[in-house]
Structure 1
């Protein structure tokens, strides 16, 4: 059984509005890293809020471990399993000391003090923020704040981490810190990740990419399958990784360059090989 199962999902914020989500079908397995991309207004952030019951379908169904998000009696357990991290970490930090902030979630679960302390220590270690445990969150950088927000979710032991553009407000260093943490959670702890982003370099980290447009899933596949379709991606007003874009243009100019090049090293290697043949 999938960890998350979405079937024929429709949603709109007001009855007179057009549908924000239209007939969405999606499954996310335990331990899978899924990235959702789409231009502004495509419905990706609305879909993210569906995953832990912040929003519930007008039509269709969202199941978490077989439990419907539309049933009020399931919400507590669903939100324990699906942790949400949003764009602005300041909106999720509630305490004046880092370790107290991370303890907030477990405390609300009614856990014993010794268990809470252990979870806080583990979460700090995982996100690499142990040395900042006694710091005030407002003194941290944007990337560090977002890692603390993630630690607060980890301390609740979710099965899946849903990130709604968590790096959008960060500088390149902060983005790198956060994505390194997210990838480690997925690879080392086996935690499922659903990551909403408009940075194509982050999408390359995924097992599977979902492309949304006008409330529907229009493309789905591995990074190689998605980004090798440069013309198709651009049709939905999205970019491709810079190395892929350059490789695509060189290929159009007549060079024997494959369409599935995603980083500078691959491109340089291919160009050096072509030069050596001439």
Structure 2
């Protein structure tokens, strides 16, 4: 299932993007003047403190949050709303609890009208790719947190998205499982080579996974520095103790240390504003 590099899609261009959330006196600028160019098949991380607009920016990439100004395109086409070619993986899984692993992974193809035999064959291939062969008939409640996230990744990949958007997908996992999932994700990405935009506030995770890191400022979120990582792939556990890894980690810590401390914000979902804001609006 290795993708030919020459056929890669998923080039992302963000040009002077500004995102304002809320209305009237409660409106605030979440993202300010962000410009990025992401090559097809590239693995990039957005690294920043909580409340800096990382998830808001991911929501705009997903098509759930409209741009206040500026633009986002994928392969030259402007984003105008959600689309299966931009798959989302959240920190908490979104699997159907009443469906088996096989049915969850195959669901996207079912919605596209793909015949049962074909969609289940493709689902089994991806289930094997994420290391869950033999668990096809299990239900989400019978799986560990790491296993559920593997199913989530397979579910998103089955429709061959141009871009996979990952919002701190391993944040709720224990340290050992998190490290295992990082290795698994890199192995899957090396075979599929879809473009990945990965949100994290964990410096080690960003340095271990990414081709490039875009470090964001506290709110309103701006790109304060781009770091290109030249570590060889495949990457092993020994990387995190290397002198260059340690140097870059110190540099990231310096970048993330804010000079001021703005009022904390509720963590924003890529699907839009916090639920309490919606409740106030409809009250």
Give the TM-score category using the shorter length.
0.7 to 0.9
1:7 counterpart residue number: 15
- Asked if 2 retains the 8 angstrom alpha-carbon contact of 1:80 and 1:156, the reply is yes
Alpha-carbon distance in 1 for matches of 2:187, 2:99: 27
TM-score by length of 1: 0.77
1:237 counterpart residue number: 257
Alpha-carbon distance in 2 for matches of 1:83, 1:39: 24
- More deviation, 119-128/197-206: 197-206
1:214-272 CA distance string (max 9 Å, x none): 2111110224799537356324239xxxxxxxxxxxxxxxxxxxxxxxxxxxxxxxxxx
How far residue 160 of structure 1 moved from its aligned partner, in angstroms, is 1.9
Counterpart secondary structure, 1:130: coil
In the superposition, relative to structure 1, how do residues 139 and 65 fare at CA in structure 2: closer, same or farther (>3 Å)?
A: same
Alpha-carbon distance in 1 for matches of 2:165, 2:62: 9
1:120 counterpart residue number: 123
2:227 equivalent to 1:217: no
Unaligned runs of 5+ in 2: 1-8, 231-243, 259-283
Alpha-carbon distance in 2 for matches of 1:187, 1:48: 22
- Asked if 2 retains the 8 angstrom alpha-carbon contact of 1:93 and 1:149, the reply is no
Give the counterpart of 1:133 among 136, 144, 147.
136
Unaligned runs of 5+ in 1: 239-278
In the superposition, relative to structure 1, how do residues 155 and 94 fare at CA in structure 2: closer, same or farther (>3 Å)?
A: farther
2:178 equivalent to 1:175: yes
Counterpart secondary structure, 1:20: strand
Counterpart secondary structure, 2:29: coil
**Cα RMSD between the aligned structures?**
2.2
Counterpart secondary structure, 2:84: helix
**Rg larger in structure:** 1
Alpha-carbon distance in 2 for matches of 1:163, 1:2: 15
2:151 counterpart residue number: 148
TM-score by length of 2: 0.75
The 5 A counterparts of 1:194-213 are 194-204=197-207, 205-213=209-217
How far residue 185 of structure 1 moved from its aligned partner, in angstroms, is 2.3
In the superposition, relative to structure 1, how do residues 221 and 191 fare at CA in structure 2: closer, same or farther (>3 Å)?
A: same
The 5 A counterparts of 1:17-166 are 17-70=27-80, 75=82, 79-89=83-93, 91-166=94-169
Alpha-carbon distance in 1 for matches of 2:177, 2:73: 33
1:10-56 CA distance string (max 9 Å, x none): 11221332210111101211111101110011111111111121212
How far residue 149 of structure 1 moved from its aligned partner, in angstroms, is 0.6
1:66-91 CA distance string (max 9 Å, x none): 12113x5xx4xxx22211100101x3
Instruction: Kindly indicate which of the two structures has a greater share of residues assigned to helix.
Output: 1
Alpha-carbon distance in 1 for matches of 2:28, 2:105: 39
- Asked if 1 retains the 8 angstrom alpha-carbon contact of 2:200 and 2:206, the reply is yes
- Asked if 1 retains the 8 angstrom alpha-carbon contact of 2:203 and 2:252, the reply is no
Query: How many residue pairs get matched?
Result: 231
